[in-house]
Structure 1
Amino acid sequence: MIRPKTPCEDARDATLNGSIGAYIPTCDDNGQYTPEQCWGSTGYCWCVTTTGQKIQGTETPPGTAITC
């Protein structure tokens, strides 16, 4: 049985069909947001909640390790 897409998967799929260099959400095997999100074209990373909301104060510059 195929499960419905999750909000993370919907956001990821919508972005994949969009602009070059856009932020693409990372989803786990269950379709949930992974705790660590990164904007590939800039190298910035940050932590998010299970609903994909950015956690204030967690953004790291390119080349900096992040643990959420």
Structure 2
Amino acid sequence: MTDPVQLDFFSTDEPAVLNGMYYEKKTNMFVSFVKGQRHFEVTPYQCLGDKAWKEKMMKERAI
């Protein structure tokens, strides 16, 4: 019988992919990413978040 093998499900060998809503400085748009792929874009005026949320996203999640 063989010895058991420990699997590492949380290894960080793969590069991190973007998931969620980000603010893209270059285009001045909020961009949604799903599994690293650009899903949709929206201008700050079209975005449904309140002003405080938009400002927080612009500071903390700018790419």
* Class of the TM-score when normalised by the shorter of the 2 chains: 0.3 to 0.5
Higher relative strand content: 2
Length-normalised TM-score, structure 1: 0.36
Which structure: larger Rg? 2
Q: Which has the higher contact order (CA 8 A, sep 6+)?
A: 2
Length-normalised TM-score, structure 2: 0.38
